[in-house]
């Protein structure tokens, strides 16, 4: 369901997602469990985020006859924003094993305070189908907006963002810059602190995924 404050935001509040998210938020949850649960949540989120994938009709032979069915009509590409986005990618691949995976590496220039792409590796035909932009945290929205812009430069017309936790400033930034990019999140949190961390959030997702905190 779209959040009432933001027409571009879809909060996926399934009980299993909420249950696992509560454990992920807990500061006592160790990195191995954090990684596993992040993948499980991503897999659960995939059911809803894939709802509008284009399909084409097919007829298959069963052991007893023929059956009409459907198959995904266009190649799907997952694009995690490095490094934390990798933590959700395997969970999505468990539901979409046919998907291709591209990568975008983005950092913020200390002098200009603007995002800079330091790494980009995506399929040459990425624009041929829908793209899922992946990052666990949507805080200020700077990196996500920049990444969506980079994908649009490559001709991508159907982009959806998948994140674990979003904050109002990030959702607002995406709505202003990319109103055609829906944001799917497991939770909309209260605010950002003075360091632009999401509150209550879950800390630094990258550090908790890779055990570097």
pLDDT band of 83, cuts 50, 70, 90: confident
Span 147-177, pLDDT tens digits: 999 999 999 999 999 999 999 999 999 999 9
How much is the mean pLDDT over the chain? 93
Report yes or no: 160 and 181 within 8 Å, Cβ to Cβ: yes
pLDDT of residue 112: 74
pLDDT of residue 1: 46
pLDDT of residue 113: 63
Span 175-189, pLDDT tens digits: 999 999 999 999 999
At the topology level, CATH places domain 9-52+74-210 in: Rossmann fold (3.40.50)
Rounded distance between C-alpha atoms, residue 11 and residue 156, angstroms:
24
Query: What are the residue boundaries of the structural domains of the chain, listed by start?
Result: 9-52+74-210
Span 4-22, pLDDT tens digits: 589 999 999 899 999 999 9
The one catalytic residue in 51, 112, 124, 195 is 112
Which pTM value belongs to this model?
Answer: 0.92
Asked if the bond preceding 200 is cis, omega within 30° of 0, the reply is: yes
The one catalytic residue in 33, 90, 177, 207 is 207
Rounded distance between C-alpha atoms, residue 155 and residue 151, angstroms:
7
13 is catalytic: no
% pLDDT > 70, the chain: 97
Report yes or no: 102 and 122 within 8 Å, Cβ to Cβ: yes
112 is catalytic: yes
62 is catalytic: no
The one catalytic residue in 5, 71, 108, 213 is 108
């Amino acid at each position: 369901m779209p959040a009432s404050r933001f027409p571009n935001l879809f909060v996926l509040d399934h009980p299993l997602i909420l249950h696992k998210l509560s454990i992920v938020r807990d500061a006592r949850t160790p990195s191995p469990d954090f990684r596993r649960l992040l993948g499980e949540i991503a897999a659960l989120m995939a059911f809803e985020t894939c709802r509008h994938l284009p399909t084409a009709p097919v007829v298959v032979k069963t052991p007893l006859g023929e059956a009409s069915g459907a198959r995904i009509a266009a190649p799907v590409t997952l694009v995690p924003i490095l490094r934390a986005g990798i933590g959700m990618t395997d969970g999505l691949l468990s539901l979409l094993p046919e998907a291709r995976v591209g990568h975008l590496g983005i950092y913020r220039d200390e002098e200009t305070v603007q995002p800079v792409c330091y790494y980009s590796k995506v399929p040459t035909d990425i624009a041929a189908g829908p793209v899922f932009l992946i990052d666990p945290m949507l805080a200020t929205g700077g990196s996500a907006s920049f990444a969506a812009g980079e994908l649009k430069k490559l001709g991508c017309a159907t982009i959806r963002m998948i994140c674990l936790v979003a904050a109002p400033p990030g959702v607002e930034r995406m709505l202003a810059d990319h109103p055609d990019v829906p944001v799917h999140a497991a939770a909309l949190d209260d605010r950002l602190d003075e360091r632009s961390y999401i509150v209550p959030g879950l800390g630094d997702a990258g550090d908790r995924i890779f055990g570097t905190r």
